[in-house]
Structure 1
């Protein structure tokens, strides 16, 4: 089929649909689509899978696997603040970061000692673009993580930080509490109900990357080039 023939077929289908619509026929009902009554509440069917009975340890392992599939550096530790602190210190050292930014509400025990020696911690209380660009890395927490897709959600809370903080610096070290990891997207979204509706939700599926027309992967285009995830618990 040539482009010209395909175009004529598509336009023909549009004209036919318009003709049927103008004749007063209800296309939705004839197709088995329930449209509801204009102006009235429509009860959306929720018959899809909303939870999972997968054992917790398997959910955590799946999250570990899926996040790593995106070329993120995934590490594990216990939920003890001291162990999280050690894991964060090692991640910062491995990244070669000296100036580390953190959101104002991050648990300070997680980053204790990072400012010793030549290191420096800068708390984001409205840092400008140049100040954000000067950061070698950032350390944040996370709101919820979907194991099925390997997606980490940041809700703009004081522990997750504002969107600019997580997009400008080149290295993002994200602490994922194990008890915030769920199996699927529906459960992830339900966990975000208490998030501030005026703040954009940031969904992270690996380091920033894209592909050109030749399918050559390019990293660090519109966000951190390196994502290091610490699953705590």
Structure 2
């Protein structure tokens, strides 16, 4: 039996005792969503899960956030960094790198040649270690976070939510959404991992916490 038939048979079996006239909206869900499964320390959980996806995660105060961004750029030897519109000016410190402003829009070749991009985020998800962008101010258009080799994402602690449903409730479904769980990676049939195929090879996350 094919996998498709196996799945369809399982669906038919699950629906065998459901009257044909009943629709999914006719009754309440049989169980509610647990809101506490992430535990009390969602910042710590997010840091742990993002690191499991091979992201480099550091915590910093608001006053030290720019220094943390600078250390991430120094670590990779970045010589150029893309700055999206609306990014707070003080998040990218002075250093041995040039700033590439995306106004007017940079060409694909310029983005591909850039070493890094620094953005903010819309929200982050603790249980999956995921950063979510809706490409608003400070986050840039999608191409900015796909072509440079290093993505440095600055996330405030109060933007981190326990799980995916909570994150989606904070996002506008009509905006373009990008969910990032670790550096871009893929594997072939022999499970040889290759990073940087579909996006940045390096992901740094700076979590801004209270003093």
TM-score (structure 1 length as normaliser)? 0.77
Match of 2:79 in 1: 98
The correspondence of residues 13-162 of structure 1 with structure 2, limited to 5 A, is: 30-31=17-18, 34-35=22-23, 45=29, 47-49=31-33, 51-52=35-36, 54-55=39-40, 58-78=41-61, 80=62, 82-114=63-95, 118-125=96-103, 126-162=105-141
CA-atom RMSD in angstroms:
2.6
The alpha-carbon distance between structure 1 residues 32 and 144, as it changes in their structure 2 partners (threshold 3 A), is farther
Indicate if the aligned counterparts of 1:51 and 1:186 stay in contact, CA closer than 8 A. Answer: no
Indicate if the aligned counterparts of 1:143 and 1:180 stay in contact, CA closer than 8 A. Answer: yes
- How many pairs does the alignment contain? 200
Match of 1:23 in 2: none
Residues 194-228 of structure 1 show CA distances to partners (whole Å, capped at 9, x for unaligned) of x6x1x420000000001110111111110000101
TM-score (structure 2 length as normaliser)? 0.85
Q: Does 2:183 match 1:200?
A: no
Q: Distance in 2 between matches of 1:68 and 1:46?
A: 35
- Secondary structure, aligned partner of 1:222: coil
Q: Distance in 1 between matches of 2:89 and 2:19?
A: 56
The alpha-carbon deviation at position 92 of structure 1 amounts to 0.8
Match of 1:20 in 2: none
Q: Which runs of 5+ in 1 are unaligned?
A: 1-5, 18-26
The alpha-carbon distance between structure 1 residues 156 and 29, as it changes in their structure 2 partners (threshold 3 A), is same
Q: 1:165 aligns with which of 137, 140, 144?
A: 144
The alpha-carbon distance between structure 1 residues 131 and 50, as it changes in their structure 2 partners (threshold 3 A), is farther
